[in-house]
Amino acid sequence: MAILVTGGAGYIGSHTCVELLEAGEKIVLLDNFSNSKPDVVRRIKELTGKDFPVYAVDLLYEPSLRRVFTEQRIDSVIHFAGLKAVGESVRIPLDYYHNNITGMLLLCKAMATVGCKRLVFSSSATVYGTNENVPFRENYPLSTTNPYGSTKLMIEKILRDVWVSDNDWSISLLRYFNPIGAHKSGQLGENPNGIPNNLLPYVAQVAAGRLPELNVYGNDYDTPDGTGVRDYLHVIDLAKGHLSALHYVRNYKGADAINLGTGKGYSVLQIVAAFEKACGKKIPYRIAPRRPGDIANCYADVTKAKEVLGWEAVRGIDEMCADSWNFTHLNPNGI
């Protein structure tokens, strides 16, 4: 039996595939390569010395999706695939609702057809909306400020309803905070198409000279240095969190939300300083107006992850930035 990893060539998916393979798990990788590169698959195989089936399949094309479950013996799914840029989701909301939600519906139907009812879902801290009562706990009221976040919240509701309708399902709803960093080898890292949407790859491209400067959105928040504070965690820690969640869904029934973060907050300027230390260069930046919907503080209460999954993040901000820079330095033109 194998684990299907949808979006397995993406940033978090690729690192999770490496951790799964190194833990002795068998995987099947599915990706439509719309925001990832086929060369990532080669790098996963080289890093692990393991081979595995790969399907260049879009979740929205149901016949090909069903073929994956027909041809492979899959007993669990880790679901990363989906559109993920907040700003883009505001510009093209229908694409986000169609891709993310319809893809999840078709995946659940395909799983149910073969009796595969173990699922680890890639959710997001965006489901906490504009709540500023930090640290965020899983039982807080939920809301969203953009279509991307709304798709995550809707899918969480859908998956809870799936479990209510059939208590044989085992579903882990993992609410990520802000993954950064890269594989220690420098062979895998965050490799977005075009101009990055997230802070660290943007900072890395400024350090590499591919972008002129960083925009820091707001310096008048109620934080130590006035810039927004977020919970950044190393992508390897996050990947290992998925292994813990996989073991969990193998041993319990339900649909349970769990935060994955460090429980600590770092400001934008603290990240800039840590990255300057990692790369030995100054990062030019300018202060820009706040963005609508941004909040001052966002970091996790990680008590539940420790208690339920036996997982906690162990890598600090210096290691996160050093590994990010190593990947950028070794891959000046990306993957």
Q: Is it the case that residue 308 has pLDDT exceeding 80?
A: yes
pLDDT of residue 174: 98
pLDDT, average across residues 268-295: 94
Q: Is it the case that residue 271 has pLDDT exceeding 80?
A: yes
Enter the tokens of residue 210. Answer: 């591919």
pLDDT of residue 113: 96
What's the gap between Cα 271 and its chain centre?
A: 19
Task: Flag whether 41 is in a domain.
Answer: yes
pLDDT, average across residues 108-113: 98
pLDDT of residue 293: 77
What are the residues whose beta carbons fall under 8 Å from the beta carbon of 322, sequence distance 6 or more?
278
Task: Flag whether 273 is in a domain.
Answer: no
Contact at 8 Å (CB) between 75 and 117?
no
Block residue for tokens 């400001």: 267
pLDDT digits (tens, 9 = 90+) for 6-30: 999 999 999 999 999 999 999 999 9
Q: What number of residues does the chain have?
A: 335
pLDDT of residue 64: 97
Task: Flag whether 116 is in a domain.
Answer: yes
Domain holding 254: CATH number?
A: 3.40.50.720
Domain around 25 = 2-180+231-261
Q: Is it the case that residue 195 has pLDDT exceeding 80?
A: no
Catalytic residue among 55, 96, 128, 148: 148
- Average pLDDT for the chain: 96
Separation of alpha carbons 335 and 325, rounded Å: 14
> Would strands 266-267 and 229-230 be described as parallel, antiparallel, or unpaired?
antiparallel
Percent of the chain residues topping a pLDDT of 90: 93
Task: Flag whether 87 is in a domain.
Answer: yes
DSSP at 143: B
Enter the tokens of residue 173. Answer: 């709803």
Separation of alpha carbons 169 and 151, rounded Å: 21
Alpha helix locations (H) across the chain? 11-22, 39-48, 62-71, 86-91, 93-96, 103-113, 147-165, 199-207, 235-249, 268-279, 303-304, 317-330
Q: Is it the case that residue 280 has pLDDT exceeding 90?
A: yes
pLDDT band of residue 291 (cuts 50, 70, 90) is confident
Q: Taking the model in full, what pTM does it have?
A: 0.96
Enter the tokens of residue 158. Answer: 């859908």
pLDDT of residue 292: 81
Structural domains in the chain (count): 1
Task: Flag whether 288 is in a domain.
Answer: no
**DSSP-derived 3-state class of residue 98:** helix
Task: Flag whether 61 is in a domain.
Answer: yes
pLDDT, average across residues 56-65: 97
Task: Flag whether 186 is in a domain.
Answer: no
Separation of alpha carbons 163 and 62, rounded Å: 22
pLDDT, average across residues 79-106: 96
pLDDT digits (tens, 9 = 90+) for 120-133: 999 999 999 988 89
pLDDT digits (tens, 9 = 90+) for 154-182: 999 999 999 999 999 999 999 999 999 99
pLDDT of residue 2: 98
**DSSP-derived 3-state class of residue 161:** helix
Task: Flag whether 19 is in a domain.
Answer: yes
Percent of the chain residues topping a pLDDT of 70: 100
Q: Is it the case that residue 193 has pLDDT exceeding 80?
A: no
CA terminus-to-terminus distance, the chain: 31
Burial of 71 (0-12, 13-18, 19+ CB in 10 A): exposed
Separation of alpha carbons 313 and 322, rounded Å: 17
266 catalytic? Reply is no
